[in-house]
Amino acid sequence: MRPRALLLASAASATVIIAGWQLGTLGAVTAPVAQGGSQTVGTTRSTDAATSDPGTADAGTSSDSNAAIDSTSGASDASQATSSTDGTYAGSTVGTRFGDVQVQVTISGGAIADVTALQLTDHDRRSVMISNQAAPILREEVLQAQAASVSMVGGATYTSEAYLQSLQAALDQAGF
């Protein structure tokens, strides 16, 4: 009886693993946005570098990005066993305890070329940025200051001669 029970238990575990695999496929890759030639998906190695943002993310958002990576790698692991096409795929929205997460996966030449966070909200449903990418910004949007309200002036290096006409020289003389 004992060997038989063990065999059944192993079979049950295998079923759970396979079910999890299929859930991964269904859960993350649902809506093809663009399509290309038929390819087999190869690797997931690029996911971490593309999504993680160790430098600037605070505890909350970095956990969010981990959630995004988890849901994506689940999808791509599963896709290894099946045939897939090049293109950009939007994942389904996954609720985490930090908020909602959705990722977009770009597959090119049979490998994941890029993973981007499409949507991320915090508890209050505000969008949260996890990327540290620079984006266009209007002059009025950056923090403004009058020369008289700053202590020092940053800029490309000036010569000693140019210093004489600089804002920094004015501040130095005024003792600001």
Positions that interact with another protein (CB under 8 A):
53-56, 129, 131-147, 149-160, 162-163, 165-169, 171-172, 174-176
Least distance from another protein to the Cβ atom of residue 146, Å: 7
Which of 82, 165 has the CB closer to another protein?
Answer: 165
For the CB of residue 125, give the shortest distance to another protein in the complex, in Å: 17
For residue 90, the minimal CB distance to another protein (Å) is 22
Which one, 17 or 145, has the nearer CB to another protein?
Answer: 145
Spatial contact of 94 and 86, defined as CB atoms under 8 Å apart: no
CB-side exposure of 127: number of CA atoms within 13 Å?
A: 6
- CA 69 – CA 102 distance, rounded (Å): 10
Q: Are 63 and 128 in contact (CB under 8 A)?
A: no
Task: Rank residues 13 and 172 by Cβ distance to another protein and give the closer one.
Answer: 172
Cα angle 164, 168, 173 (rounded to 5 degrees) comes to 75
Taking the complex as a whole, how short is the minimal distance between the CB of residue 148 and another protein, in angstroms? 10
Look up residue 29 and give its two tokens. Answer: 């890759």
